[in-house]
Chains A and B, each alone.
Chain A
Amino acid sequence: MNPINKHNTHIVMPFEYHQPATVRAAVEILRKHPGAKPLAGGTDLVPKMKQRLLEPKHVVNLKKIPELSVVEDRGDAVYIGAAVRLREIEKSETIRRRLPLLSSCVRSIGSVQIRNMGTLGGNVCNASPAADGALGLVALEATVHIAGPGGERQVEAKSFFEGPGLTVLGEDELVTGFTVPVPTEDTGTCFISVGRTALDISTISIAVALTMDGDRVKDAKVVLGSVAPTPIRLADAEKQLKGKTLTEKLVEDTAMKVSESIKPITDIRGTAEYRREASRGMAVEAITKAWREGRTQR
């Protein structure tokens, strides 16, 4: 076998495959085999294994665990299991109606094939600064449910990420699902992302949620992707909006604040200058759309 695997045709290294039926059993396998990797849709993990960036000796398929695959409308929140596939989220009438922001974040991920395979848990645990699903969960102030050998714990989505590919998750822990609060009726939301090509991950993305009382902003969330090591909420921009009556001028000023308060880097997908400039235009559009939507939904 070609040890270099230049053309990504195989997974070179063998591994042991586990297919637990419960969260408890999955956690036990992770505990017993340090370095074991959970496998959900594999759209992030498998390419890394093929490219020999990761070579786990144990792979734990999570898709046979029924409790990880539920979507449940719980009134003031929707619960989404970690192994629910992106395409199911996209098609879910409940999520489309109650969490339109998350729905549009998920629709923008990859292609139909990628969304048929990939899961929301995988999108979050992969912890890419460009992860669109993760951005939506941070903007909606979702709670991440985690299971480990010591039991369960919960973490706010915005505190879950520690850097590119880094999370608060221990090696023997699993994300089991997300509780996503349903925004109030007077909340308008908008998600915009810009990429180089149709299929590429975002060069920069923004999610905005505005809770309105007429034209007055009661509450604001402004979250950006791909401009920092993790998805980030811009407290300065949010503060600038809160309690104010929205005008075109305020939108412009806030967008300026957005572009000033980010510290993007230059990488293969875009330069720091490009991201700074793009963030301003995208912020104008996203805040304006969320404003209109929040106003009309009353």
Chain B
Amino acid sequence: MKIDVTINGRERSFDVPPNTLLLNLLRERLDLTGSKYGCGIGECGACTLLLDGEPVLGCMTLAVDCDGRTVETIEGLGDGDGLHPIQEAYLEEGAVQCGFCTPGFIMTTKALLEEEPNPSEAEIREYLKGNVCRCTGYVNIVAAVQSAAGKMR
């Protein structure tokens, strides 16, 4: 099936079988391997990306369902040279260890800060509930979100 999707600002056309998942299209056809495959069934958030600006799970989204829509992944955040303030904040606060969960966390954080530029710790923890990190213990991640919020205000 033919689909047109805007990915990180670039309009693209594909011909995909309906059983293709958005995450596989990104990782296998476009080599956009920032979004990660963790569980594949909605429980870890490592595949989180923004679809029409909202955080969804690439591992459970059919590519054909994205026809005419806009996808944003971690690769779309920086400008090529500099990092996005959220990426900077995650590095500065030690919120990245192995880094496997980081792209998912950062995309969810971006959506959160667009909705609520000044979230409380409780709001941050609630919004990031669908993202799992096996390394950091979340304290540094919460600090990174708060620091990013400061940078972006």
Contacts and interface: CB of A to CB of B under 8 A. Distances in A.
Contacts of B98: none
A111 B45 contact: yes
A4 B19 CA distance: 16
B14 interface: no
A42 interface: yes
Most buried by A among B60, B61, B108, B131: B60
Most buried by B among A112, A113, A116: A113
B60 A17 contact: no
A180 to B, nearest CB: 25
A18 to B, nearest CB: 9
B55 A112 contact: yes
Given A10-B24, A17-B1, A63-B65, A116 B56 contact: yes
A199 B130 contact: yes
Interface string B113-153: 00000000000000101110000000000000000000000
Interface class of chain A by DSSP? loop
B39 to A, nearest CB: 7
Contacts, number: 90
A17 B62 contact: yes
Contact of B54 (A19, A61, A87): A87
A11 B54 CA distance: 24
A12 B111 CA distance: 31
Interface string A239-264: 00000000000000000000000000
B16 to A, nearest CB: 10
A15 B17 CA distance: 8
Interface string A98-117: 00000000000011111011
B48 interface: yes
A112 B41 contact: no
A258 to B, nearest CB: 29
Contacts of B37: 7, 9
B133 to A, nearest CB: 13
Contacts of A59: 18, 62
Contacts of A150: none
B40 A50 contact: yes
B60 A46 contact: yes
B60 A117 contact: yes
Contact of A114 (B42, B59, B64, B65): B42
B92 interface: no
A41 to B, nearest CB: 9
B108 to A, nearest CB: 7
A9 B130 contact: no
A151 interface: no
B49 to A, nearest CB: 10
Contacts of A42: 60-62, 65
Contact of A117 (B17, B18, B61): B61
Contacts of B108: 112-113
Interface of A: 7-17, 19, 39, 42-43, 46-47, 50-51, 59, 61, 63, 87, 110-114, 116-117, 198-199
